[in-house]
Amino acid sequence: MKELTFPEALNEAIREEMARDSTVFVQGEDVGPYGGGYYPALKGLWATFGGERVRDFPISETALVGTALGAAMTGMRPIVDIMFADFSFVCFDQIVNQIANMRYMSGGKAKVPIVVRGVIGGGQRLASQHSHSLEALFVQFPGLVVVTPSCPRTAKGLLKSAIRNDNPVIFLEHKMLYSAKGPVPEGRDFTLPLGKAQIGGEGTELTIVAHAYMTQVAMKAVDQLKHDGISAEVVDLLTLSPLDNETVLRSVRKTGRVLAVQEAPPMCGMAAEVVALIAEKLGMSLRAAPRRVTAKQSPIPFSPKLEDYVLPSVTDIVEAARGMVRGE
């Protein structure tokens, strides 16, 4: 094991996969000598691999993603850096109508090995257009794999798998994780499987389901709940689509309670999906009604006072959990 920051883990994953496979290349705005826009994860890649394989792109998101699709269908394996995931709205046609449907519409003939990396979420006072938690949107399109790492280890292991995978993968990195540091297994062979959730903090009374940065927030809540004598565990979804229903169900069968957490506003999000899953499969055997903790129903405001109010916190999770376990 070695200690890496989140961007270092991403950097290693890309570096190793580019060295392993000469068809892998990166393109995006400011990915060259600059090392990646506001969240630099690509430091040194341009110096190592050169401008042919680490391609600085003009501000043209439709072309950025669309050329990746064209290249992917003809033998290359592009990694697209879209900087803030919010910019994907500028090129949603290419991502959704084109990339997400291409394999299916071609009767399974097209192969679309693309990774689109984007930074999601709030917490850094960047206001509405740079703070969306838009992961559930992508989940609406069955032709996309959607991945949200939650720490340096999962960032590296999942990104490597995403690059090796022949499906289009939307890889969403929460901005609050960029300062995270953590252990990452040594070796170029370390990968983590796509489509598998993981469980953190072994608990018996409550399952908290979370993803991305909310996994870290939920783990803090689990610690606090321990002091209250409440035993909870966190299912970290990691891959949002296809969803690892089995791991979620296994945990909730054991605990009998589910609290689904997401940073996005309440409607039609991952938390709603998890609650629906549990209601359908385990509804009659639960010890408490399922609950959700989400952002409030508004865009993300700029002012810290306002943003902190809108986003879900450790306290929100702890209070909801107490309510469920103690009936408070």
Binding site for ligand TPP (CB under 6 A): 29, 59, 61, 83, 87, 90
Residue 130 known to be catalytic: yes
CB of 22 or CB of 303, closer to another protein: 303
Rg (CA), the chain: 20
Total residues at the site for another protein (CB under 8 A)? Answer: 40
Give the interface segment with another protein, choosing from 81-89, 138-146, 162-170, 242-250 (CB under 8 A): 81-89
Binder among 40, 123, 201, 242 for another protein (CB under 8 A) = 40
Tokens (6 digits) for 110: 């097209």
Give the interface segment with another protein, choosing from 3-11, 95-103, 104-112, 306-314 (CB under 8 A): 306-314
Give the interface segment with another protein, choosing from 113-121, 195-203, 251-259, 297-305 (CB under 8 A): 297-305
Task: Count CB neighbours of 263 within 10 A.
Answer: 30
Using CB under 8 A as the binding rule, whether residue 306 contacts another protein is answered as: yes
Handedness of CA 156, 157, 163, 164 (dihedral sign): positive
CB of 56 or CB of 316, closer to another protein: 56
Using CB under 8 A as the binding rule, whether residue 56 contacts another protein is answered as: yes
Q: Give the Cα separation of 163 and 191 in Å (integer).
A: 11
Q: Give the Cα separation of 92 and 100 in Å (integer).
A: 10
Tokens (6 digits) for 30: 């400011």
Q: Give the Cα separation of 156 and 154 in Å (integer).
A: 5
Provide the minimum distance between the beta carbon of 241 and ligand TPP in the complex, in angstroms, as a whole number: 25
CB of 39 or CB of 87, closer to ligand TPP: 87
Using CB under 8 A as the binding rule, whether residue 97 contacts another protein is answered as: no
Using CB under 8 A as the binding rule, whether residue 17 contacts another protein is answered as: no
Angle between helices 245-255 and 270-282 (to 10 degrees): 60
The closest alpha carbon to 312, from 328, 293, 291, belongs to 293
Task: Count CB neighbours of 286 within 10 A.
Answer: 17
Binder among 2, 21, 23, 34 for another protein (CB under 8 A) = 34
Is residue 107 exposed (0-12), middle (13-18) or buried (19+ Cβ within 10 Å)?
A: exposed
What residues make contact with another protein under the rule CB under 8 A?
A: 29-30, 32-35, 37-38, 40, 56, 58-62, 86-87, 89-90, 124-130, 296-299, 301-310
